[in-house]
A = this chain, B = another copy of it.
């Protein structure tokens, strides 16, 4: 299973592509950012983001896209503009007919660190551990995209583990 995780933003959209190997080990395939020009209009930036995500989907053929749920930033205008970016990202996923998983920020922290109030540093440390990287993905937007992708991979493991427990129980 391959998951494309996205941390949306109109200026910088972070992404991470992770794959589940045999034995459930997660492997980082690629991460990075889609950066738009500050002088461009919002419409031009949305086109860049949509084209960038579409290109990632075409290249990696992920089974699922994982993205942070709508959150309420302190600045309402920022949150509304972010909604525009999320809109074109969800569009790219649905146009490619891939599954979409949305997670509130606290759920991503809980999945990665085990604590919904974890700090950014704790999330980055655990992302590195889980993927056996020497350092956390850079910049932090890329690490946030990777964290979203890992959350989807790990939530997918739960039913599998439950199945195995059921199998073990049935064997007894």
Which one, B50, B72, B84, B100, contacts A86 given CB within 8 A?
Answer: B84
Copy number in the complex reads 2
Q: 0/1 per residue, A102-142, Cβ < 8 Å to B?
A: 00000000000000000000000000000000000000000
Bound complex: CA of A91 vs CA of B48, how far in Å? 10
**A84-B87, A87-B86 given; A43·B79 CB < 8 A:** no
Chain A residues in contact with chain B, CB under 8 A? 41-44, 46-47, 50, 70, 72, 76-77, 79-88, 90-91, 93-95, 100
Residues of B within 8 A of A46 (CB): 87, 90-91, 94
Residues of B within 8 A of A47 (CB): 91, 94-95
25 contacts between A and B (CB under 8 A): A41-B100, A43-B90, A43-B91, A43-B100, A46-B87, A46-B90, A46-B91, A47-B95, A50-B91, A70-B77, A70-B81, A76-B76, A79-B80, A79-B83, A80-B80, A82-B83, A83-B86, A83-B87, A84-B90, A85-B87, A86-B87, A87-B87, A87-B91, A88-B91, A91-B91
A98 to chain B, nearest CB (A): 10
A127 to chain B, nearest CB (A): 26
